[in-house]
Amino acid sequence: MAKVILKKKIDASTPALGDVKSYARKIWLAGLGAYAKVGQEGSEYFQELIQAGQTVEKKGKKVVAEKLEAANAEIVEAKSEVSTFKGKVEVQLDKVEKAFDSRIASALNRIGIPSKHDVETLSAKLDELTALLERVARKS
């Protein structure tokens, strides 16, 4: 069976076509209005975003500066504590070293080994005796 396609001529003067044209024009105008409004408000919105970004950037820089200052203060405090501790350790090491030297000297003295001071004293006396002998040798 063959289909029959009927084409109906639409007259430009029919009210339905006029309504469609009117509606299409309104849609077109609404689109143009939306485009214009977005263009105008979009620029204003963009400027607001820039200002908000600048505000956030300033706050961020301030926070970073505060954190950096706090960290530097902690570093200075830690250095001070380390210096104080280092000084105390050096004092204690000096005490330990002196005590060790004293005990070693005492132990060496007990077994008959002379100390550095004893050797120096003996050396000074020997120098005096040598000088005295040289004077006596010259006189005779």
C-alpha torsion angle, residues 73, 79, 83, 89 (rounded to 10): 120
Task: Read off the pLDDT of residues 85-139 as tens digits, 9 standing for 90 and up.
Answer: 888 888 889 999 999 888 888 888 888 888 888 889 999 999 999 999 998 888 8
- Check: pTM over 0.85? Answer yes or no: no
Q: Judge whether 115 and 105 are in contact, CB under 8 Å.
A: yes
- Distance (Å, whole) CA 102 – CA 79: 34
- Cα 10–11–13 angle (5° rounding)? 140
- Distance (Å, whole) CA 77 – CA 116: 44
Q: What is the pLDDT of residue 77?
A: 92
- pLDDT over 80 at 7, yes or no: no
Place of tokens 């076509």: 17
Task: Read off the pLDDT of residues 27-75 as tens digits, 9 standing for 90 and up.
Answer: 888 888 887 877 777 778 778 888 988 999 999 999 999 999 999 999 9
Q: What are the sequence ranges of the domains in the chain?
A: 23-131
